[in-house]
Amino acid sequence: MTAEPRPPRQATAEDTDPRLFVNAIEKGMIVLELFETSRQELSLTDIMARAGIGRSAAQRFVYTLHRLGYLSRNPDNKRFALGPKVLGLYRGYLGSRSVLQRAQHAMLELNRATGECVSWSELLEEEIVIVENLPSPHVTAVALVPGMRFEAVSASSGQVLLSHSAPEAVQRAFSGASPLARERAAAPDLGAFQALLVQVRQQGYAMTSKAFDQDSLSISAPVLDAQGRPVGAVNLSALSSRFSRAEALANLVPAVVAAARACR
């Protein structure tokens, strides 16, 4: 399963202060975020259509982002892609996450011990985002990369993070979930999802089944700060062909939970 592309999120009137909010920056970020899910270079016409803005505004935003180094331009076809400067933002984000720096050793040990894909994920509104990933050495394995996003309701990382989140965050994630995500979570309504989160919190982990190129298991455990708030989740993703559900419960789940505890 791959992350479902979603249109860039626009701020709503209820959650913004019009005295402080800069609409031009919002539109510029909408243009930049178009490239998050794009697998190819985009023309100015593509950007106009996907961002829902006129040619004049699109030209100004694209020109500015290009001049600042956040977009690169192919001189042969005049199409645009993300520029190398965006990597500086990613580096700065990782550098500011002291808990993630502490987690590196535990994640590496889990990756080496199991030979499976190990990731650090965080909650981003209705989704979880892969922040860091250690790939599996197997030729055939689940492949995740930083920046990939999945609906929190049906993702094991999303479930463990929401199980320690405020009720309004749970309700927001469930309200924004697609019917497919609710079906995968076996949660047709908010009450059923809340009951699932109670179970996840009590057991200390979540395990879900996914469908990438092959069936796989996703196991996550939360990392909490000193106040018991969720700051991230350690995730292990493995193909079902290597581990049955019973084997995962017996061997992988304890390893993931121990790794998450070692990150605190």
Q: Does residue 52 lie within any of the structural domains?
A: yes
Together in a domain, 105 and 34: no
Chain segment 181-210, per-residue pLDDT in tens: 999 999 999 999 999 999 999 999 999 987
**Strand (E) or helix (H) holding 112:** helix 98-114
Query: 């924004």: which residue's tokens?
Result: 176
Tokens of 114: 């199991």
Q: DSSP class of residue 140? A: S
Task: State the pTM of this model.
Answer: 0.77
Together in a domain, 225 and 111: yes
Q: How far is residue 220's CA from residue 176's CA, in Å, rounded to a whole number? A: 22
Which residue segment(s) compose the domain that 26 sits in?
A: 13-88
Contact at 8 Å (CB) between 197 and 166? no
Together in a domain, 145 and 242: yes
Q: Does residue 227 lie within any of the structural domains?
A: yes
pLDDT for the residue 42: 93
Q: Does residue 3 lie within any of the structural domains?
A: no
Q: Does residue 1 lie within any of the structural domains?
A: no
Question: Among candidates 145, 168, 170, which has minimal Cα distance to 158?
Answer: 170
Q: Does residue 7 lie within any of the structural domains?
A: no
Q: How far is CA 229 from the centre of its chain?
A: 18
CATH number of the domain within which 69 lies: 1.10.10.10
Together in a domain, 117 and 22: no
N residues, the chain: 264
pLDDT for the residue 211: 57
Find the mean pLDDT for residues 143-164: 93
Q: How far is CA 179 from the centre of its chain?
A: 19
pLDDT for the residue 2: 37
Together in a domain, 83 and 101: no
Find the mean pLDDT for residues 240-247: 88
Tokens of 146: 């930083």
* Beta-carbon count within 10 A of 35 CB: 21
**Sheet containing 117-124, strands listed edge to edge, beginning at the edge strand earlier in sequence:** 149-151, 127-134, 117-124, 230-239, 215-224, 206-211
Q: DSSP class of residue 14? A: G
Together in a domain, 55 and 154: no
* Beta-carbon count within 10 A of 25 CB: 9
Single out the residue in 63, 88, 113 at which a domain terminates: 88
Together in a domain, 74 and 126: no
Q: Does residue 6 lie within any of the structural domains?
A: no
Which string of b and e fits 92-115 if b means at least 16 CB within 10 Å? eeeeebeebeebeebbeebbeebe
Q: Does residue 2 lie within any of the structural domains?
A: no
Chain segment 113-148, per-residue pLDDT in tens: 999 999 999 998 899 999 999 999 998 888 888 888
CATH number of the domain within which 156 lies: 3.30.450.40
Single out the residue in 88, 122, 155 at which a domain terminates: 88
Total number of domains constituting the chain:
2
